[in-house]
Chain A
Amino acid sequence: MFYCDFRDRQELTATNIMGAIIKQLAARGEVLKHVQAAFQKARTEVGGRGPRLPDMVQMLKQAVSTFHQVFICIDALDECPSKHLLELLESIKDVLKDSPRTRIFVTGRPHVGAEITKYFANRLTVPIIPKAHDVKIYLEKKLEMDPDPEAMSDTLRADILRIIPESSEMYVQAQSPFHA
């Protein structure tokens, strides 16, 4: 799982994101062995150097090939600066050429969809909206944790659990032209 976290934005380069993905696959010894070899080779070069994007693509291709199927999840893709985003998508596309079974799960705001389509014309899309069912689970948990439950009448509690989940779905549908 990789999170394009806003706090890390400075470091959100395609190279670093690919590296973070490889890190997790390197829990498998066979992958780690290849990564270690690349690391040691890089260290012998003048002054040692960090891995470059083509190195990352090769390492990820190798890593993915040792598994039957790998799921790569990248959260908040829209937080990734545009230049790096395009490089990242291109690199992933390159990896998929060799390992077509690999699945990529990404989340982001709707506008980033256009960039994804440039590289993956047949991408599947699921619009995410708050579901009344999810909101109800959340509210029930919050009410359970109420430090002063005596102050709440059963009627009020029932109203909260009925009205808020329903209206949260309607609110988003009304607000967003994307889901309209």
Chain B
Amino acid sequence: MERTAPEYSKTGNVNSFNVNNYYNGTIISDEYAEIMQWLSPLDSRRRHHDVRIDRLDGVGNWLLETDQLREWRSDEAGADEAVLFCCGDPGVGKTYLRQASRSFGRNRNYC
């Protein structure tokens, strides 16, 4: 019997998670939900979903072209340059730019 973890199935996210595909039935969805709650009461996926829908195509693409972003995303750079800080005052669009930056590593894993 296949059961889908409730939290992710609601979002329609591409990372929808089917527990039994990974676990051959050893984790049932009740325990999965408990583990997720135990890890953190915070749920970032829902907010991300909303921002992704609202952002217009092309907005923020300039960020991908900056030297800082190119330097930072290289997997040859070490831990010294691991942190990229996008700073700005409230309302300038930092959240939406972060969404645009999703494309900085296509085919890689996001968190």
A residues in contact (CB < 8 Å) with B: 1-3, 5, 8, 11-12, 15-29, 32-33, 35-36, 39, 42, 50-51, 67-73, 75-76, 96-97, 100-110, 112-113, 116, 120-131, 133-134, 137-138, 141, 172, 175-176, 178
Beyond A107-B86, A112-B87, is A42–B42 a contact (Cβ under 8 Å)?
Answer: no
Whether, in the assembled complex, B53 has its beta carbon less than 8 Å from a beta carbon of chain A, the answer is: no
Give Cα A127–Cα B17 distance, bound, in whole angstroms.
36
Contacts of A35 in B (CB 8 A): 35, 39
Chain A binding site: helix, strand, loop or mixed by DSSP?
mixed
Interface string of B85-111 (1 = CB under 8 A from A): 111111011110110010011001111
Whether, in the assembled complex, B2 has its beta carbon less than 8 Å from a beta carbon of chain A, the answer is: no
Total A-B pairs in contact (CB under 8 Å)?
A: 221
Q: Contact partner of A128 among B17, B71, B97, CB < 8 A?
A: B97
Q: Determine the residue in chain B with the shortest Cβ distance to A77.
A: B85
Contact in complex: A126, B84 (CB < 8 Å): yes
Contact in complex: B111, A71 (CB < 8 Å): yes
Give Cα A21–Cα B80 distance, bound, in whole angstroms.
21
Give Cα A32–Cα B23 distance, bound, in whole angstroms.
9
Contact in complex: B23, A29 (CB < 8 Å): yes
Contact in complex: A23, B36 (CB < 8 Å): yes
Contact in complex: B22, A32 (CB < 8 Å): yes
Contacts of A11 in B (CB 8 A): 41-42
Q: Contact partner of B43 among A20, A39, A106, CB < 8 A?
A: A20
Q: Contact partner of B92 among A16, A104, A130, CB < 8 A?
A: A130
Q: Contact partner of A70 among B57, B79, B111, CB < 8 A?
A: B111
Contact in complex: B34, A106 (CB < 8 Å): no
Whether, in the assembled complex, B56 has its beta carbon less than 8 Å from a beta carbon of chain A, the answer is: yes
Q: Determine the residue in chain B with the shortest Cβ distance to A168.
A: B92
Contact in complex: A16, B111 (CB < 8 Å): no
Beyond A35-B39, A104-B84, A110-B88, is A3–B95 a contact (Cβ under 8 Å)?
Answer: yes
Instruction: Give B97 Cβ to nearest chain A Cβ, in Å.
Output: 6
Contact in complex: A73, B111 (CB < 8 Å): yes
Chain A CB within 10 Å — which of B68, B73, B75, B84 has the most?
B84
Contact in complex: A123, B85 (CB < 8 Å): yes
Contact in complex: A1, B110 (CB < 8 Å): yes
Q: Determine the residue in chain A with the shortest Cβ distance to B74.
A: A103
